[in-house]
Amino acid sequence: MRNLIKFISLYNYSITFLILFFISSYFLINENFILKTKYFNSSNYISGSVFYYQSSITNYFKLEEKNTMLEKENKILNEKIIDSYYSEQEDTASTLNNNYKYIKADVINNSIRKSKNYITINKGSKDGIKVGMGVISSTGIVGKVKYVSENFSTIISLLNTSFYISSIIKKTNTLSSVNWSGVDPKTLKLLYVPKHIEINNGDEVTTSSFDSVFPKGISIGKVNNITKEVNSNFYDIDILSTQNFYNLSTVYIVNYLLIDEKVELEKKTNEE
């Protein structure tokens, strides 16, 4: 203890300077959008590299389990491709989905215990990934790309209370929205469904494609609980997510090939 006090008294000016430096840097970055963006991109690269090597060591001891999981995912994806190929040509959903391409990536970090969870993947700008792209897996919706560096990207997870997905109740084609309440990682909230709409437990909820982030028809979940006795014009609905975030290992980044054309056209329309 005596040595510690002696050390602090000897270097008290340097220690004070470092503390003030880090505090002032925090406030400077936090209040400046440009510096904040550069900070996140730089920290994204550094943390991405750390997570990459950590994940490599962990995955080495889980190769058999991971290979089994990848085989299952490839089987499901192949079945979806075959179903799409043999579907009728006038199927609008299949036609729209042809405008999307997918970039495969591995998950190297994934949080599920916070109210605002994020995922890190081992692909970045050099692989064609851009901010705002949707992210899916073989079983459902994962999230949307938030930050991108050259070799890594961070994803705002579906398990993030600030993330909303444009959705449709498949049976009635009713437009709705999906959000996570921040409680159970397997349960999502289905929002803005009017009480005059007929809905039942087990009804499937899928993506609508209205936001140009995800293709139409990607499964989000199934209705699990409906509460009608609420002081609102809308139901209080829980849905069971099809995506299991506890064993997420491989994701697919959605590249909408017509996004630039759509945004440009809508920009002209909004300016009128």
The domain ranges of the chain are 164-244
Answer for the pair 101, 255: CB distance below 8 angstroms, yes or no.
yes
Answer for the pair 221, 239: CB distance below 8 angstroms, yes or no.
yes
Choose among 128, 192, 186, 131: nearest CA to 159.
Answer: 186
Measure the CA–CA gap between 167 and 177, rounded to whole angstroms.
5
pTM of the entire structure? 0.68
Choose among 234, 235, 233: nearest CA to 201.
Answer: 235
- Top CATH class of 164-244 equals mainly beta
> What is the mean pLDDT of each successive set of 10 residues along the chain, which is 272 residues long?
63 70 61 50 60 65 64 58 42 55 91 94 95 91 95 96 95 94 94 93 92 87 90 92 92 87 78 68
The whole-number pLDDT of residue 231 equals 84
Q: Pull the structure tokens for residue 25.
A: 């840097």
The whole-number pLDDT of residue 167 equals 95
